[in-house]
Each structure stands twice: as C-alpha cells, then as structure tokens.
Amino acid sequence: MAWEISDLNIGDEVTITVTVLKMLDDGRASVSIPSYAFPYSIQAPKKTKAGEELELRGEITRVDEDVRQVTVKAGGLITVDADAITAWNPAPRKRAPLRDTSD
C-alpha cells in the first residue's frame, strides 16, 4: 500500500478487490469483501464465474483513523479496513486563494 490512512479523505474514489462466491439467478454475484463480515451482492459482468476477482469502486463517505477503517459508498455503505483498498484516486480539491490583508 503506497498511502497512509491519513491520506484518505471523504470524496476520494477507491477500489476494493472482491472475490465472486457464486452466481445468483438474476445476473448478480454473491461476493466476499475483505474485512467485511456481511453478505453482499453486485451486478456482475456476463460470463463471470465463481472464484474470479472483480473490482468494486466507490466513494469514501467516512474515515476512522483510530481503528483504520473506511466507509465506502458502492451501491450500499461498506465499512472495510484501510488495508482492503487496492487503488485510490484522490478527489480534486479546490484551493482557496490567499486573502489580502489590510495595510
């Protein structure tokens, strides 16, 4: 991992690699998300098979530096350890211009 938890901010786009457990009837896939202990399903590409790895992208909505966890909005809200993030794209930040001081 090339970044620290303090580098992550709300609004940044992150990628989490998930593993397909099984395909469901309606084209969805039941997936396993690292450090997330709840069942989760996503819309899977055609010809996806169990055991394949897929990328789940979402936007950070919460960062908890004390326990090193991040909440990501990717369909639903998913709270994972920061180590589960495989890619990170910081959101563009607007820089406020410096103010002139009165003389």
Q: Of the candidates 31, 20, 35, 21, which has an alpha carbon nearest to the alpha carbon of residue 71? A: 35
Cα 73–Cα 56–Cα 75 angle in degrees, nearest 5: 35
pLDDT number for residue 75: 86
Confirm if 56 and 9 have CB atoms less than 8 A apart: no
Give the pTM.
0.81
Confirm if 72 and 16 have CB atoms less than 8 A apart: yes
pLDDT tens digits, 28-37: 999 999 999 8
Residue 36 structure tokens: 């997330």
When pLDDT is averaged across residues 79-95 and rounded to a whole number, the result is 88
pLDDT number for residue 70: 95
